[in-house]
């Protein structure tokens, strides 16, 4: 029989792990974005001076851009939810979220 | 067609509306009701000052000229924002923890609160921002001129418009930006007005875009087709410029003073950044979505040679959409004004905190540093700075003649402010970055940027222009057109690689070669490890400043009320109900931080330092702050404590083990002694009884002798067993004492009588002094005499002197009576004195032993039970024992 305390800690550890992976993902989004923004331009425009059609490029960039925004929104919401959940777990709210954190 | 006067009226009305919004927001914020003000949406909207009039109007022009390149200005910041977890989060956290007031404050604070470094960054920022402000004024003037053209005021000088706009903006900034020296350096009124403007400019651009795509065009597909048919269908940008511009704009959004102001300083909640991380890129996407369609349709519909920078305005105007044109004008106006307001605010904070205040402080150094109201001086300095910055922008605008060359200044300014990026990023990620490295890097990058890019674009004349043409001092490799002989096709890219590259190289090299001051190292640890300890740093050694001086100084900066409250709280925290707090390090640290919120870290540090007399950080403080060191120390302390505990436990265990071993040895010895003692009489008894059992072999005389031996031996056995029993009873404490009244002399008489029956008694002469023996006792007389008998018989048995003598002396000592038994024998050798009270201890003497060696052990046990003691007296000629009579027993004694 697992005691209540042990179960609780396991649960929290699992969530901490999830949060850490989410943070990894959040850190990787800009890398991913840079690859999509830079890669095709470097590869394609170096071949010919004409490059491709502006309209095609425009559609491509705006699609990638919108995709990154959606991805980022999903990740940041998930991160905030976990952070809020952790704040509620603790008896006192985390100091990082108070508007008067600067002075004490 | 809208009249020019009507247009001005609308703009004035709009500005009045902004004032009203700002006033309302300030009022609500002061009442603590403005929840919407501190919402992530407001925060995100306030970030929109990134999109200035340059992008509002200029993006369309840029798209018309060079296709998709305008996107880089938004893609860079997008990457930075969706990567908020890398840099922005840390910057905001540090900004809040250190109460940073500007980008210059951030950098100077990181590098040991250095004043000169802050001044350097401030100068760089002002130089970088001035053309930018001029650009905004120009755009407003141009857009008004568009409306003015057909009207009666066509001759209206655009300079006049610019002056009016600059004046109005300065007024707005002064009213809402320097109303008070807010300790948090936040401006709710200003931020809310900016948020409103952000909505206006977005709506304006979206409205024009929708009008173009669905009004003029036939939906998205049609517009894409038109793009392919237009001159901009082929995209000729190269990868290097694309990547370079994207990175440059990403760097700029981190370094621009106005962006720092809204991103870090005006941030009221760190969680807002999580929302802004996607919401702000979304805002930029919406802003840039219709840029390309407007450019394409503008190129199609507008007459040849019209300025594409103004398509947003001229397109609806030409097509008779006055309302839309007005909205576009307001949008552009919003974009320009919000940028100028925040830039002026941010720059004025920097100029006043890092240039004017230090100069004022050093100028008034010889006066009483406690006199005057610093608060008023600081506010005045800010207002003066705002006016000065506006004036600079205006002057630049007039000098450059409102030429189109200004448009090129946007990217040039970006590169200028980006020179602080290495110091900024190095400062928050690398603890090895030093002040010297940062200053060298910034200075080198700044110089290259100014020489290669800024001056050639600034329309200078005279010897400077000559130097630019011929190279500095006539050196060809110093010609801006081909710096270091590099003849790059793209001057911006060349300058960027050169200035930022050498900036980074010098920053790192000098950092590696120099040694940081203690304060730098302290701040470095605070910045780089900001997540580990967002708590207060320990920065101050015990100070000599008095609380009075500090209070007077704080009053000058914070105002009387807040200063008094601050000191009261601190005093109460130190446990003082009245009076001033002690100037302890933590209080001074706290005070300095509060002051830094108003005048910047470097100035606050200098001011507090003036009073406390030193900015030294002790090694101990450094250790305590450098978190990992503290953690390691704590860990090692714990380890030390634990190992000490272990050592103690081990010692105790070893002791216990030794005791057990000793006890076991003692037990073995005791058992073997006992068996030996029992065996000797038993052997002789058995031997003689066997002889007696043989009939006829024994005659009468032998029979009597043998019987006596057997009798003696059995008595000895009995005595031994009695002694053992006695000892065990005594040791267990199970003995019952039978207390009676007696005189000491009587007990001694009895004891001597008892021993006189023994074998050797005749030989021993006993000396006594009866007068001193008259001591009344209440004790177990039998037991006491047992002790005396033992001592006397020992003297009889072991005294080797001829003739043996024993003197019994009663000593009346203060509080106790002792009886000394001293013979004239050889005494006990030093080495054996320790064991004489042990069981079965018999001394190696020439004489045959008769007892079992339990006598002294029993005697001592008895004396302990009676409440007295028995001890050997060293230092006598013969053997001497002293019996201390129990004090309880001395009832009625003399």
Q: What is the 3-state secondary structure (H, E, C) of B514-530?
A: CCCCHHHHHHHHHHHCC
**CA-CA distance, B685 to B688, in Å (whole number)?**
5
Please, which residues bridge with residue B765 across strands? B805
CB-nearest partner of B239 from A45, A52, A83: A45
Mean pLDDT lowest among B31-45, B394-408, B648-662, B792-806: B394-408
Residue whose C-alpha is closest to residue B541's, from B595, B621, B604: B621
Put simply, the chain B residues between 575 and 604 with a CB less than 8 A from any chain A CB are: 590, 593-594, 597
Burial class (CB in 10 A: 0-12, 13-18, 19+), B515: exposed
Q: Does A103 touch chain B (CB under 8 A)?
A: yes
Q: How far is A87 from chain B (nearest CA, A)?
A: 13
pLDDT band at A48; cut points 50, 70, 90: low
Burial class (CB in 10 A: 0-12, 13-18, 19+), B116: middle
Q: Does B229 touch chain A (CB under 8 A)?
A: no
Q: Does A35 touch chain B (CB under 8 A)?
A: no
pLDDT band at B238; cut points 50, 70, 90: confident
List, for residues A58-80, the tens digit of each pLDDT value: 888 999 999 999 999 999 888 88
Model pTM score: 0.65
Is A26's CB within 8 Å of B68's CB? no
| Mean predicted confidence (pLDDT) in B297-315 | 85
pLDDT band at B453; cut points 50, 70, 90: confident
Q: Which residues on chain B are in Cβ contact (under 8 Å) with A42?
A: 239, 242-243
Determine if residue A82 is left, alpha or beta; phi over 0 gives left, psi from -120 to 50 gives alpha, anything else beta.
Answer: alpha
| Mean predicted confidence (pLDDT) in B506-519 | 90
CB-nearest partner of B274 from A27, A31, A80: A80
Residue B550 has pLDDT above 90, yes or no: no
Largest CA distance in chain B: 174
Q: A71 or A52: which carries more pLDDT confidence?
A: A71
**CA-CA distance, B191 to B18, in Å (whole number)?**
11
**CA-CA distance, B26 to B715, in Å (whole number)?**
114
Largest CA distance in chain A: 72
Q: Which residues on chain B are in Cβ contact (under 8 Å) with A57?
A: 68, 235
Mean pLDDT lowest among A83-97, B165-179, B272-286, B669-683: A83-97
Q: Which long-range contacts (CB under 8 A, 24 or more apart) does B837-841 make?
A: B837/B870, B839/B670, B839/B673, B839/B727, B840/B669, B840/B670, B840/B673, B840/B674, B840/B677
Q: What is the 3-state secondary structure (H, E, C) of B95-111?
A: HHHCCCCCHHHHHHHHC
Residue A5 has pLDDT above 50, yes or no: no
**CA-CA distance, B823 to B878, in Å (whole number)?**
5
CB B268 within 8 A of CB B38: yes
Q: Which residues on chain B are in Cβ contact (under 8 Å) with A55?
A: 224-225, 227-228, 233
DSSP type of residue B880: E
Is B86's CB within 8 Å of A66's CB? no
pLDDT band at B758; cut points 50, 70, 90: low
Length of chain B: 894
**CA-CA distance, B700 to B660, in Å (whole number)?**
55
Q: Would you state the pLDDT for residue B877?
A: 77
Q: Does B429 touch chain A (CB under 8 A)?
A: no
CB-nearest partner of A99 from B78, B269, B282: B269
Q: Would you state the pLDDT for residue B1?
A: 54
Mean pLDDT lowest among A21-35, B413-427, B472-486, B835-849: B835-849
Mean pLDDT lowest among A1-5, B494-498, B610-614, B662-666: A1-5
pLDDT band at B628; cut points 50, 70, 90: low
Residue B538 has pLDDT above 90, yes or no: no
**CA-CA distance, B341 to B266, in Å (whole number)?**
14
CB-nearest partner of A101 from B85, B96, B236: B96
Is B82's CB within 8 Å of A79's CB? no
Q: Name the residue ranges covered by the structural domains of chain A.
A: 10-87
Q: Would you state the pLDDT for residue B444?
A: 94
Q: Beta-carbon neighbour count of residue B539 at 10 Å?
A: 25
Q: Which residues on chain B are in Cβ contact (under 8 Å) with A52?
A: 235
DSSP-derived secondary structure for B640-689: HHHHHHHHHHHHHHHHHHHHHHHHHHHHHHHHHHHHHHHHHHHHHHHHHH
Q: Would you state the pLDDT for residue B237?
A: 62
Q: B174 or A71: which carries more pLDDT confidence?
A: A71
Residue B517 has pLDDT above 70, yes or no: yes
Tokens in use for B406?
């200004």
Q: Would you state the pLDDT for residue B889?
A: 58
CB B84 within 8 A of CB B318: no
Q: Beta-carbon neighbour count of residue A37 at 10 Å?
A: 24
Residue B642 has pLDDT above 80, yes or no: yes
Q: Would you state the pLDDT for residue B678?
A: 80
Q: Would you state the pLDDT for residue B420?
A: 93
Tokens in use for B589?
């640290």
CB B4 within 8 A of CB B151: yes
**CA-CA distance, A62 to B858, in Å (whole number)?**
107
List, for residues B760-815, the tens digit of each pLDDT value: 556 788 888 888 888 888 888 888 888 888 888 888 877 777 788 888 888 888 77
List, for residues B243-258, the tens digit of each pLDDT value: 999 999 999 999 999 9
Q: Does A71 touch chain B (CB under 8 A)?
A: yes
Domains by residue range for chain B, with CATH = 4-364+372-402 (1.20.1730.10), 535-625 (no CATH), 628-730 (1.10.287.130), 736-889 (3.30.565.10)
CB-nearest partner of B184 from A45, A77, A102: A102
Mean pLDDT lowest among B723-737, B809-823, B830-844: B830-844
The stretches of B149-290 forming alpha helices (DSSP H) are 158-177, 188-210, 220-229, 239-255, 257-260, 272-289
Residue B149 has pLDDT above 70, yes or no: no
Mean pLDDT lowest among A56-60, B560-564, B630-634, B727-731: B630-634
Q: Which residues on chain A are in Cβ contact (under 8 Å) with B233?
A: 53-55
Measure Cα distances from B85 to B89, B457, B535 in Å. 5, 37, 21
Mean pLDDT lowest among A58-67, B152-161, B452-461, B697-706: B152-161
List, for residues B193-202, the tens digit of each pLDDT value: 899 999 999 9
Residue whose C-alpha is closest to residue B288's, from A90, A55, A58, A13: A58
Q: Which residues on chain A are in Cβ contact (under 8 Å) with B292?
A: 54, 58
List, for residues B520-530, the tens digit of each pLDDT value: 888 888 888 87
Contacts of B27 (CB under 8 A, 6+ apart): none
Mean pLDDT lowest among A21-35, B199-213, B431-445, B692-706: B692-706
Q: Would you state the pLDDT for residue A90?
A: 47
Please, which residues bridge with residue B234 across strands? A53
Tell me which of A32, A52, A59, A65 to substitute to probe the interface with B (most B C-beta atoms closer than 10 Å). Answer: A65
Mean pLDDT over each residue of chain B, to the nearest integer: 80
Mean pLDDT lowest among A82-91, B120-129, B326-335, B610-619: B610-619
**CA-CA distance, B225 to A9, in Å (whole number)?**
60
List, for residues B106-135, the tens digit of each pLDDT value: 998 899 888 889 999 999 999 988 888 888
Q: How far is B282 from chain A (nearest CA, A)?
A: 7
List, for residues B664-718, the tens digit of each pLDDT value: 887 888 788 778 778 888 888 888 888 888 777 677 888 888 888 888 888 888 8
Mean pLDDT lowest among A1-10, B625-634, B694-703: A1-10
**CA-CA distance, B788 to B810, in Å (whole number)?**
13
Please, which residues bridge with residue B882 across strands? B820, B871
């Amino acid at each position: 029989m697992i005691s209540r305390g042990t179960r609780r800690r396991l649960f929290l550890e699992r969530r901490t792990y999830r949060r850490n992976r989410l943070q990894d993902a959040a850190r990787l989004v800009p890398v991913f974005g840079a690859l999509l923004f830079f890669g095709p331009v470097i590869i394609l425009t170096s071949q010919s001076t004409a490059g491709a059609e502006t309209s095609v490029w425009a559609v491509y960039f705006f699609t990638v851009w919108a995709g990154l925004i959606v991805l980022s929104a999903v990740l940041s919401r998930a991160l905030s939810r976990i952070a809020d959940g952790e704040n509620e777990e603790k008896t006192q709210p985390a100091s990082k979220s108070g508007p008067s954190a600067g002075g004490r | 067609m809208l009249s020019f006067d009507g247009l001005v009226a609308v703009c004035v009305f709009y500005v009045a509306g902004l004032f009203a919004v700002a006033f309302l927001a300030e009022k609500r914020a002061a009442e603590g009701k403005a929840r919407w003000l501190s919402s992530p949406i407001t925060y995100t909207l306030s970030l929109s000052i990134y999109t200035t009039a340059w992008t509002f109007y200029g993006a369309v022009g840029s798209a018309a000229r060079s296709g998709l390149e305008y996107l880089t200005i938004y893609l860079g910041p997008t990457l930075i924002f969706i990567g908020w977890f890398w840099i922005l989060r840390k910057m905001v956290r540090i900004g809040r923890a250190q109460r940073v007031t500007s980008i210059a404050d951030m950098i100077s604070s990181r590098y040991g609160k250095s004043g000169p470094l802050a001044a350097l960054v401030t100068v760089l920022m002002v130089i970088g921002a001035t053309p930018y402000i001029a650009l905004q004024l120009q755009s407003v003037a141009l857009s008004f001129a568009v409306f003015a053209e057909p009207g009666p005021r066509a001759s209206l000088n655009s300079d006049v418009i610019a002056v009016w706009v600059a004046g109005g903006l300065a007024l707005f900034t002064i009213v809402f930006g320097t109303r008070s020296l807010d300790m948090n350096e936040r401006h709710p009124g200003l931020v809310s007005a900016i948020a409103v403007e952000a909505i206006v400019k977005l709506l304006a651009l979206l409205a024009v875009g929708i009008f173009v795509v669905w009004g003029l065009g036939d939906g998205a597909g049609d517009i894409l087709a038109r793009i392919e048919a237009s001159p901009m269908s082929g995209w000729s940008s190269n990868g290097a410029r694309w990547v370079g511009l994207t990175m440059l704009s990403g760097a700029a959004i981190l370094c621009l003073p106005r962006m720092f102001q809204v991103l870090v300083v005006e941030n009221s909640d760190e969680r807002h950044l999580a929302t802004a991380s996607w919401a702000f890129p979304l805002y930029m996407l919406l802003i840039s979505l219709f840029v390309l369609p407007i450019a394409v349709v503008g190129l199609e519909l507008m007459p040849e040679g019209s300025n594409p920078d103004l398509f947003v305005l001229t397109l609806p105007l030409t097509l008779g959409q006055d309302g839309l044109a007005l909205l576009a004008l307001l949008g552009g106006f919003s974009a320009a004004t919000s940028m100028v307001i925040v830039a002026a605010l941010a720059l004025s904070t920097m100029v006043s905190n890092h240039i004017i205040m230090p100069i004022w402080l050093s100028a008034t150094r010889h006066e009483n540093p406690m006199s005057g109201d610093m608060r008023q001086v600081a506010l005045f300095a800010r207002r003066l700075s705002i006016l000065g910055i506006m004036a600079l922008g205006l002057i630049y605008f007039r000098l450059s003649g409102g030429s189109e060359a200004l448009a090129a200044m946007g990217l040039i300014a970006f590169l200028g402010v980006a020179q602080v990026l290495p110091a900024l990023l190095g400062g928050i990620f690398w603890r090895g970055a030093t002040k010297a490295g940062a200053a060298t890097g910034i200075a080198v990058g700044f110089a290259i940027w100014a020489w290669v890019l800024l001056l050639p674009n600034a329309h200078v004349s005279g010897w400077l222009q000559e130097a630019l043409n011929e190279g500095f001092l006539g050196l060809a490799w110093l010609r801006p057109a081909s710096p270091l002989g590099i003849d790059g096709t793209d001057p911006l890219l060349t300058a960027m690689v050169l200035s930022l590259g050498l900036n980074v190289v010098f920053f790192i090299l000098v950092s590696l070669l120099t040694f940081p001051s203690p304060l730098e190292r302290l701040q470095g640890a605070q910045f780089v490890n900001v997540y580990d300890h967002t708590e207060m740093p320990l920065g101050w050694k015990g100070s000599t400043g008095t609380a009075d001086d500090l209070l007077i100084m704080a009053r000058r900066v914070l105002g009387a009320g807040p200063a008094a409250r601050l000191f009261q709280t601190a005093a109460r925290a130190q446990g003082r109900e009245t009076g001033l707090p002690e100037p302890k390090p933590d209080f001074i640290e706290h005070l300095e931080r509060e002051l830094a919120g108003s005048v910047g870290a470097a100035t606050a540090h200098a001011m507090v330092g003036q009073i406390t007399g030193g900015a030294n950080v002790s090694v101990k403080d450094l250790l305590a702050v450098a978190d990992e060191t503290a953690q390691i120390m704590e860990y090692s302390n714990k380890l030390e404590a634990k190992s000490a505990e272990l050592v103690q436990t081990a010692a105790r265990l070893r002791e216990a083990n030794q005791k057990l071993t000793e006890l076991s040895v003692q037990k073995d010895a005791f058992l073997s002694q006992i068996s030996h003692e029992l065996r000797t009489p038993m052997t002789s008894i058995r031997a003689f009884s066997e002889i007696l059992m043989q009939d006829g072999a024994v005659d009468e005389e032998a029979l009597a002798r043998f019987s006596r031996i057997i009798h003696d031996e059995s008595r000895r056995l009995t005595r031994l067993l009695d002694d053992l029993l006695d000892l065990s009873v005594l040791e267990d404490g199970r003995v019952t004492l039978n207390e009676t009244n007696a005189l000491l002399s009587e007990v001694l008489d009895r004891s001597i009588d008892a021993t006189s029956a023994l074998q050797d008694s005749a030989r021993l002469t006993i000396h006594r002094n009866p007068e001193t023996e008259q001591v009344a006792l209440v004790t177990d007389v039998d037991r006491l005499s047992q002790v005396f008998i033992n001592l006397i018989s020992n003297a009889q048995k072991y005294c080797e002197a001829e003739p043996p003598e024993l003197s019994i002396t009663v000593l009346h000592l203060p509080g106790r009576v002792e009886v000394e038994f001293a013979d004239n024998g050889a005494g006990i050798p030093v080495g054996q004195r320790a064991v004489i009270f042990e069981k079965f201890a018999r001394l190696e003497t020439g004489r045959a032993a008769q007892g079992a060696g339990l006598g002294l052990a029993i005697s001592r046990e008895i004396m302990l039970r009676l409440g007295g003691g028995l001890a050997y007296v060293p230092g006598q000629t013969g053997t001497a024992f002293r019996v201390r009579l129990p004090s309880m027993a001395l009832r009625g004694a003399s």
